[in-house]
Chain A
Amino acid sequence: MQPYFSEVYGNASSMHSFGSAAVAALDEAHHTVACDLGARASEIVFTGCGTESDNLAIRGASLAMWKRGRGQHLIVASAEHHAVAHTFHQLQDLFGFTVTELPVGSDGRVDPDDVRKAIRPDTVLCSVMLANNEVGSFNDIASIGAICRERGVLMHTDAVQAPSTVLLNVNALNVDLLALSAHKFYGPKGVGMLYIREGTAYLSTLTGGGHERGRRPGTVNVAGCVGLAAASKYVAARRDTQAGRLSLLRDKLFAGILADVPDARVSGHAHDRLAGHASFVFKDVDGETLLMALDIEGIAVSTGSACTSGNPEPSEVLVAMGISPNWALGGLRISLGYGTTEDDVDRVIDVLPKCVARIRKTAHVMGSARVVAQP
């Protein structure tokens, strides 16, 4: 990336020779990413982030299909990231679309048969994420995509969580639109990618110049795109080995935590899930407090949701999976990456049970001691 901040500072939209060096770098970035995905370079659109990719894809395809008189019915899974879910909500609330939300099972996965049943003559787009960000479970995108294709419905998948451990091939997946974010596979933050299959109905909801073939107008973040492409090469060379290694560490983490923490469960599918993704729910534990407690110990985790402790609204994803609120408030996601060692995992297995015990103890003491008086 480095040269593109200084020596190769040309604007890829300029005709002069400095610009042309940047164009060459961008062309190569498109090519690199396309190779990894089994796509053509012309089908790759660089964006500002995964959220932007999802937004452009969903709104762009829905509006283009509607414009072609194909209908206004959309299908989306109920455990999607907000970048997807909120875009569908807006299309429904402000643009006259009807949205069918697909249920997810207790493992967080969509049943492809439900997609088949939800498709109507006026259905134009279906979106199901490849791997769930909160609970790690894989969806059977290849089957869902095949069903959609057979019925003339466009298929979008948010695959943001996947590239570091999963080889993605847009043809094997039967998708028309696929979103990625560089920072999820060791690339820079603030750059994303959208795959748009050739011939897919698409209307750019950003308007402006002809950047990225008019599909994402706006000055291209050359250094970022080069970084994304470099990251793509980096993970392509490592993902198989790392996936094998990380799934073993993940399973060790599962076993260690479940053995030492009472009232703990794995959320999502036990093994048909991302190799580097371990997620749990703990009964009667505030996930945010657990996050802080681990952070103080130098262990960075996430609650896996926008769930907030003062707001006794548990994660929408966990609720959609049928997990009861007093468990769902204690949702925790631990991500394992290429740099994670077995020592790291052992440390979590040592520290996390103590943190959970302390939180449960104080919650119990406070709960019984405090009587709230009226004003």
Chain B
Amino acid sequence: MSGNGGTRVVVAMSGGVDSSVAAALLVEQGYEVIGIMLRLWAEEGTDMTGAPNANRCCAPEAVTDARAIAQMLGIPFYDIHAEAVFKKQVVDSWIDGYARAITPNPCFNCNRSIRFGFLKQRALALGASYLATGHYARVDRAGDDTPYRLLKGRDDKKDQSYVLHVLGQEDLAHAMFPCGNYVKSEIRSLAHKFGLPTAERAESQDLCFLTQGDYRGFLSRQAPEISTPGPVLNQRGEQIGTHEGLPYYTVGQRKGLQVMQKITTAEPMYVLRLDRARNAVIAGPASELGSRRVLVQMAHYCSGRIPEGAIQCTAKVRYKAREATGTLEPQANGSLVFQFDEPQRDATPGQGLVAYFGDEVIGGGVITAVS
């Protein structure tokens, strides 16, 4: 045991391996650990038995697992309702993004407003010094006068620093990511060592609040008014087909584009961009995809300071995208421009651009425009 006794830490528990091991590691390190699970919003409805739909990150089995693990570790456990705040801050603004013809990423708002907003506030209110999560990322501080730094997790494949880039100094000062120093296989062995269940729930590409079908069906039920059918145009502005509503399309998408038979060329057509003013999908061949210049209007820097000049570094434009080299150019108005050395196929307004200097997250933000 180290000298951590008396330091209180709230762990965001999901019932999964990562957050369970995070909790166990903190208990082992002598912290006074409190487990909290957030109940998040899911689309209204019931299953065949009349039980209400649950958000995937807090399904009844997940709550049961998390409670059992807390019991095993001998720590207090609370599951608290965050449905309404999650709906408002995450789901509604995500829907609003589609209404503005972008492809929003709800995970940023969730980490900013729910985990490091709603939950962090409760952690501090409970007298905790830290909020810990099972994310694969690290927090580092070289010295008392230097800013806290957000670093990638040691496991390249599991690194989750992308979705955490929204954190600022005040968040990082109170953040702990106990899994960040391990690779996934080590986390599994630790789970064995601590006697924790290691079964993984199936990872899904879908969003946690979707309970039936994909996001398109969700939008058509929750916000039918934001989708109006319109034209598919080529880059010369000629109509080559029709679309069912801009929210159903994203940059790089090929599926679902109804291009008129006679215009169909040998080349398959892809969504190049969404033109909200004309309610049009602009389509073209794959060779036209890709942007070098990415604009982020409200840039966020983890250090809390705008860099003084351009930085040669790397960035990625989606969670699963590959990091690519380029130049970060901070702008005087608080925005940033990232010039990639090579065109990026998936750069899409609404998704995040996150810039890295080696392992360190410099910052980034929501992509406003690409060219």
Contacts and interface: CB of A to CB of B under 8 A. Distances in A.
Interface of A: 286, 288-289, 292-293, 295-296, 308-313, 358-359, 362-363, 365-366, 369-370, 372-375
Contact of B117 (A295, A358, A366): A366
Contact of A359 (B84, B102, B125, B166): B125
B274 to A, nearest CB: 15
A197 to B, nearest CB: 35
Given A372-B113, A375-B106, A375-B366, A310 B93 contact: no
B247 to A, nearest CB: 13
Closest 8 CB pairs of A and B: A308-B81, A310-B82, A375-B104, A311-B84, A310-B81, A362-B124, A366-B121, A359-B125
Interface string B21-54: 0000000000000100011000000000000000
26 contacts: A286-B125, A289-B125, A289-B126, A292-B78, A293-B127, A308-B81, A309-B80, A309-B82, A310-B80, A311-B81, A311-B83, A359-B125, A362-B124, A363-B121, A369-B170, A370-B117, A372-B109, A372-B112, A372-B117, A373-B166, A373-B300, A374-B97, A375-B93, A375-B97, A375-B104, A375-B105
Interface in B268-311: 298, 300
Contacts of B85: 310, 312
Given A310-B83, A366-B120, A374 B126 contact: no
Contact of A362 (B83, B94, B125): B125
Contacts of B106: 375
Contacts of A365: 124
Interface in B66-87: 76, 78, 80-86
A362 B121 contact: yes
A288 B80 contact: yes
Contacts of B300: 373
Nearest to B89: A372
A109 B13 CA distance: 41
B118 interface: yes
B122 interface: yes
Report which residue of B97, B109, B122, B124 has the largest number of chain A beta carbons within 10 angstroms of its beta carbon: B122
Nearest to B98: A375
Contact of A296 (B34, B102, B350): B34
Contacts of A362: 121, 124-125
B208 to A, nearest CB: 15
Contacts, number: 89
Contacts of A372: 89, 109, 112-113, 117
A310 B126 contact: no
Report which residue of B106, B121, B350 has the largest number of chain A beta carbons within 10 angstroms of its beta carbon: B121
B66 to A, nearest CB: 15
B241 to A, nearest CB: 28
B156 interface: no
B214 interface: no
Given A293-B126, A296-B127, A375-B97, A310 B86 contact: yes
B108 interface: yes
Given A369-B170, A375-B96, A375-B366, A295 B76 contact: yes
B358 to A, nearest CB: 26
A310 B84 contact: yes
Given A292-B122, A373-B366, A375-B106, 14 more contacts: A288-B81, A292-B34, A295-B76, A308-B81, A309-B82, A310-B83, A312-B85, A359-B125, A362-B124, A370-B113, A373-B166, A373-B300, A375-B96, A375-B108
A309 B81 contact: yes
Given A289-B125, A310-B81, A362-B124, A373 B112 contact: yes
Nearest to A297: B127
A353 to B, nearest CB: 14
B124 A296 contact: no
Nearest to B105: A375
Nearest to A372: B113
A375 B109 contact: yes
Contacts of A296: 34, 76, 126-127
A278 to B, nearest CB: 22
A292 B84 contact: no
B329 to A, nearest CB: 21
Contacts of B86: 310
A289 B83 contact: no
Contact of B39 (A289, A310, A312, A373): A310
Nearest to A313: B84
A162 B320 CA distance: 60
Contacts of A366: 117, 120-121, 124
A365 B34 CA distance: 22
B118 A310 contact: yes
Nearest to B85: A310
Contacts of B126: 289, 292-293, 296
B175 to A, nearest CB: 15
A310 B121 CA distance: 12
Nearest to A306: B81
A361 to B, nearest CB: 8
A289 B122 CA distance: 6
Report which residue of A312, A363, A373 has the largest number of chain B beta carbons within 10 angstroms of its beta carbon: A373
B117 to A, nearest CB: 6
A375 B82 contact: no
Contacts of A292: 34, 76, 78, 80, 122, 126
B158 to A, nearest CB: 24
A40 B94 CA distance: 63
Contact of B94 (A288, A293, A375): A375
Contacts of A286: 122, 125
Contacts of B89: 372
Contacts of B93: 374-375
Nearest to B170: A369
Contacts of A310: 38-39, 80-86, 118
Contacts of B104: 375
Contact of B84 (A289, A312, A375): A312
Contacts of B82: 309-310
B326 to A, nearest CB: 23
A359 B123 CA distance: 10
Report which residue of A286, A310, A374 has the largest number of chain B beta carbons within 10 angstroms of its beta carbon: A310
A295 B127 CA distance: 12
A358 B129 CA distance: 13
B102 A375 contact: yes
Nearest to B104: A375
Contacts of B117: 366, 370, 372
B63 to A, nearest CB: 14
